[in-house]
Amino acid sequence: MKTIQQLLAYIPLRLRLALWFTGALGAILLLVGVFIYWQTQRTMLSQIDHALELAAVQATLNVESRNGRLVFQNLDENRIQEQHLDDDFVVYLLSPDGIVWEELGNNKKEPVYTTLPPGYASRKEYGEAWRILSQEVVIDGTVGNLQVRQDMELLENALKDLRQQMALGLPLALLLAGLGGFWLASQALRPIDTMTRTAQGITAD
């Protein structure tokens, strides 16, 4: 502790006050930044989950049992509709063992995670991040799984941009805060400096 006090003694009071002010403001900005990042991620993920839920409801209405497996009704019409689907969206009908029965979407890569538990999950396949909604479907005694997926590239890009902005903005804000804190400390200590110089002048006389 002595060493720290000795080091602080060599630092001018103005600079010490500016450093304390900058440190406190930096901690506040960091906490605010973390909260904004978390809230943005949570909001965007919630929007993706909502879209997946709506797609799952719509897809379930078009599922039927045929020859011991689940299939999409009016598949030819669905094939036409899938041409209008975004590249980041795909729907699978899977057997309980994870075998792909049918799929809709423009992503033709074979899925890796085909035996996920019911609910939402985030997985990476072939270097791409996916948000996945899995749920069991039972039609006329035939059991299968419906898996709706959406690519999370937009989410990842948005969060990456936010991280870059925070990485650039936080140091700049701290620099401005440090300069402002030093100026404020100088203004606050000016009367004390005046009194000190006056006292020194009286003592010298």
DSSP H/E element including 78:
helix 75-82
In degrees and rounded to multiples of 5, residue 150 shows phi and psi of -140, 135
Per-residue pLDDT tens over the stretch 158-195? 999 999 988 888 888 778 777 766 666 666 656 655 65
d(CA 183, CA 181): 5
| Separation of alpha carbons 134 and 91, rounded Å | 10
pLDDT tens digits, 77-93 = 545 455 445 567 899 99
Model-wide pTM > 0.85? no
Q: Supply φ then ψ for residue 60, to 5 degrees.
A: -60, -35
For 3-46, write each residue's pLDDT tens digit: 655 555 556 666 677 777 777 878 888 899 899 999 999 999 99
Helices 153-204 and 13-61 cross at an angle (nearest 10°) of 170
Please report the domains of the chain, with CATH numbers, ordered by start residue: 50-152 (3.30.450)
pLDDT digits (tens, 9 = 90+) for 53-75: 998 998 898 899 998 899 988 75
Residue 187's identity, in one-letter code, is Q
CA–CA distances in Å: residue 205 to residues 84, 193, 194, 195, 197: 92, 18, 17, 15, 12
Catalogue the long-range contacts made by 16-20 (C-beta closer than 8 Å, 24 or more residues apart): 17/181, 17/182, 17/184, 17/185, 17/188, 17/189, 18/178, 18/179, 18/181, 18/182, 18/185, 19/178, 19/181, 20/181
pLDDT at 106 over 50: yes
Distances (CA, A) of 174 to 8, 13, 26, 34: 21, 19, 6, 16
